[in-house]
């Protein structure tokens, strides 16, 4: 069976460093941190007082007020990113066959704010009996973002979400890619969204000792691969990409950013939250993505690593890269854009895949910020090029993006220059 080639034709983003794909990419190249004091709730009694929040977001810029009230913030973010990606694709919605266009998103937590507020309201009025909003369930459930986007545009193709913690949106991208190359649709809007910066989210991760507590210096708290890293910085937002079969894109004269070359998936099968200490699952997922793409390790120019700024995770991923790529590992550029965006959880893979797309388009590798001289971890090999603190120009023909999630879920995608 001949497989279809799959290309990227539209980008949309709403992140802690930009309210569009273009603004996000410019700030990633320039090493801008999105971290600051939490504004969504009173953080004073929490261990962590900061996060990477989306700034100056107004839902009514993307939908009417009545609809916005029926949607959790994560779904509002998804609608915003989707709107930009659809517009950026240049797709004429009056002429395309909407029966052949799908929506597949990754969501890690979903409507946590809705769940938290509704349960809290019931607890305060328990003596009067249940008093839940009729929109409680449709606002809370994770799949509703994909459903709302399909309703908005009339897309009748495959429609669902993937949930694999922080690997969710890379899994969504992988599913979209596989369905397209099998000819199950002409185009699929894919990506992810998350809005977990709420008391339950921050408090839950604090209880696990997963978050940084560098409260006196939030902008420098996310510092992957540095010895003083003390946990990840929570982020929020959304990223969407329009993927199309090459035939469909060419037939409508679309502008093509790059080609999706391959995807990989694996499981650590080791621990509910910790990565395998030797990076076995991480190595396997990259190996599978390369095999799927028909590529050799030495063809990769740039890896956007999972790189969360956690003590164990950063080390295991470095081990995986060195083990798989061998001597070529020292010719790669490696960077963690989480040093700027924070960890967008279920949306992380989508935003980081977009960074890989733009690295391929512009031949620029965004940096890993916040590394200081003298802050070296003896377990990390600094002969590797972590692209510390400043973007680097180089030819990027092939870029690889890693995302790993609680439960041992690993997902990887590879993009390459379109030829």
Give the Cα separation of 365 and 1 in Å (integer).
36
Distances in Å between the alpha carbon of 383 and those of 116, 298, 394? 46, 17, 18
Beta strands in 233-381 (DSSP E): 237-245, 258-267, 302-304, 333-335, 364-365
What pTM does this model have? 0.97
Q: What percent of the chain has pLDDT over 70?
A: 100
**Dist CA 64 CA 45 (whole Å):** 35
Query: Is 40 an active-site residue?
Result: no
Q: How far apart are CA 121 and CA 123, in angstroms?
A: 5
Mean pLDDT across the stretch 404-409?
96
Specify whether the CB–CB gap between 264 and 227 falls below 8 A: no
pLDDT of residue 362: 98
Mean pLDDT of 406-419: 97
**Which residues partner with 406 through β-bridges?**
none
Would you place residue 127 in the very low, low, confident or very high pLDDT band (cuts 50, 70, 90)? confident
Q: Which of 208, 210, 386 is nearest to 310 (CA)?
A: 210
Q: Which residue has the higher pLDDT, 222 or 129?
A: 222
Nearest to 103 by CA among 67, 157, 25, 141: 157
Return d(Cα 187, Cα 256) in angstroms, integer: 13
Q: What integer pLDDT is reported at residue 383 of this predicted model?
A: 98
Q: Residue 122: pLDDT above 90? A: no
Does the pLDDT of residue 59 top 80, yes or no?
yes
pLDDT of residue 124: 77
Which DSSP letter does residue 103 get? Answer: E
Asked if 198 and 113 touch (Cβ cutoff 8 Å), the reply is yes
* Exposure string for 184-210, b = 16+ CB within 10 A, e = fewer: ebbbbbbbbbbbbbbbbbbbebbeeeb
Beta pairing partners, 310: none
Q: Which one is catalytic: 40, 43, 248, 306? A: 306
**Residue-level pLDDT at 271:** 96
Alpha helices by DSSP H, 90-143: 112-124, 136-140
The catalytic residue among 4, 43, 52, 166 is 166
pLDDT of 22 above 90: yes
The values of phi and psi at residue 412, to 5°, are -145, 140
- pLDDT of res. 153: 98
Exactly one of 4, 220, 248, 343 is catalytic; which is it?
Answer: 343
CA distance 389 to 370: 6
Examine the residue annotation and report whether 166 is marked as an active-site residue of this protein.
yes
User: Considering the chain, what is the average pLDDT of its residues?
Assistant: 97
Active-site residue 306, yes or no? yes
């Amino acid at each position: 069976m001949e497989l279809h080639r799959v290309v990227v034709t539209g980008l949309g983003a709403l992140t802690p460093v930009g309210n569009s794909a273009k603004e996000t990419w410019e700030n990633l190249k320039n090493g801008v941190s999105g971290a600051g004091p939490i504004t969504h709730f009173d953080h004073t009694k929490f261990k962590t007082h900061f996060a990477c929040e989306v700034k100056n977001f107004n839902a009514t810029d993307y939908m009417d007020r009545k609809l916005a009230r029926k949607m959790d913030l994560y779904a509002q973010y998804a609608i915003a990113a989707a709107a930009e990606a659809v517009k950026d694709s240049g797709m004429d919605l009056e002429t395309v066959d909407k029966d052949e266009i799908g929506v597949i998103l990754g969501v890690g937590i979903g409507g946590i704010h809705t769940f938290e507020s509704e349960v809290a309201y019931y607890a305060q009025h328990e003596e009067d009996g249940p008093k839940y909003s009729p929109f409680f369930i449709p606002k809370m459930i994770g799949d509703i973002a994909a459903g709302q986007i399909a309703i908005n545009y009339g897309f009748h193709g495959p429609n669902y979400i993937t949930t694999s913690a922080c690997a969710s949106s890379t899994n969504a991208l992988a599913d979209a890619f596989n369905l397209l190359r099998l000819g199950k649709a002409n185009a699929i809007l894919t990506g992810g969204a998350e809005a977990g910066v709420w008391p339950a989210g921050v408090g839950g991760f604090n209880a696990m000792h997963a978050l940084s507590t560098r409260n006196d210096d939030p902008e420098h708290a996310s510092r992957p691969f540095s010895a003083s890293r003390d946990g990840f910085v929570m982020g929020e937002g959304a990223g969407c990409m329009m993927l199309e079969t090459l035939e469909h894109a060419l037939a409508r004269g679309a502008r093509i950013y790059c080609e999706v070359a391959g995807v990989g998936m694996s499981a650590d099968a080791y621990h509910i939250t910790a990565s395998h200490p030797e990076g076995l699952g991480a190595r396997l997922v990259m190996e599978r993505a390369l095999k799927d793409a028909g590529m050799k390790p030495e063809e990769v120019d740039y890896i956007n690593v999972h790189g969360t700024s956690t003590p164990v995770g950063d080390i295991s991923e470095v081990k995986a890269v060195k083990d798989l790529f061998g001597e070529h590992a020292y010719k790669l550029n490696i960077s963690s854009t989480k040093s700027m965006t924070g960890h967008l959880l279920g949306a992380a893979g989508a935003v980081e895949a977009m960074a890989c797309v733009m690295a391929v388009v512009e031949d620029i590798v965004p940096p890993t910020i916040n590394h200081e001289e003298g802050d070296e971890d003896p377990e990390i090999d600094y002969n590797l090029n972590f692209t510390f603190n400043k973007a680097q120009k180089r030819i990027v023909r092939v870029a690889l993006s890693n995302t790993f999630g609680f439960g041992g879920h690993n997902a990887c995608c590879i993009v390459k220059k379109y030829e």
